Amino acid sequence: MAGYDKIAKHFFERRADKTRFDYNRDIEVPAMIKMVGNVKNKIILDLGCGFGDHSKKLSQKGAQKIIAFDLSKELVKFANNQKIPNCKFEVGDMDRKLKYKNNYFDLVISGLALHYVKNVNQLFSEVNRVLKKGGMFIISTGHPIFDLINESLDNSSEAKIAIKRVGNKRIIEGDYFDESKKLADLGSIGKIKTYSYTFETFLKLGLNNGFELIDYLDAKPVPSSKKYDSEKYKLTTTLPTFILFKWKKK
């Protein structure tokens, strides 16, 4: 997204740093690639592609063609500079209708980008349109449980929802059902606004737009990441950070 333009270089370098625990590299990316499975000779659309880490791995696994876009011009620039085979990276907006023809893609993926989209119902409808019958739509996004009860990564703010006792009264802070845009803390990357969608919303988006739910995952980090940061490893193996849904077009 456009907000990443200012931090694209830092974001790219941080992901490449193999001496630290990385939520994307050590949790979401391997979970996504495993759920995708075989992509040999498949035509793929990567929504909110960032600098192309998912596309790169899918290209290496034998994808025939990958079209990927992101709202951030700088992230797309990093993606293109990698010269990944069979990949076309461009600037695009997930909140707009897709420009691709009907029944064209075998697979559509979106890694940690859905929570930036306001018109998620339109997105699901458009993905259904551009997918071939039986094609797969796989998404990952922030886990509602983690988003609600996890404190800020730099301890600058409280959890998004909490129940506190003041005398004989319970004071409730936050609202799980509030899906409006909120400021999310991304640690050293900074803060950025995202939408907090409920489980109900995620499920109905697929079910109401012609999809069948094939698989679901509460993602955990790869075991090898424990050596980078045992505290974060323990946190993310006991508190789910990301969720993945695998949808099939009926």
Residue 216 pLDDT exceeds 60: yes
What CATH number should be reported for the domain holding residue 223? 3.40.50.150
Residue 45 maps to a domain: yes
Residue 89 maps to a domain: yes
Residue 154 maps to a domain: no
Domain of 36, in residue numbers: 2-143+193-249
pLDDT band at residue 160 using 50, 70 and 90 as cut-offs: low
| Residue pointed to by tokens 């077009």 | 249
| Residue pointed to by tokens 């003041």 | 166
7-28 pLDDT tens trace: 666 666 777 777 889 889 999 9
Number of domains in the chain: 1
Residue 106 maps to a domain: yes
86-101 pLDDT tens trace: 999 999 999 999 999 9
| pLDDT reported for residue 55 | 97
| pLDDT reported for residue 193 | 82
Residue 217 maps to a domain: yes
| pLDDT reported for residue 108 | 98
103-126 pLDDT tens trace: 999 999 999 999 999 999 999 999
Residue 48 maps to a domain: yes
Residue 139 maps to a domain: yes
* Rounded-to-integer distance, Cα 126 and Cα 133, Å: 13
48-62 pLDDT tens trace: 999 899 999 999 999
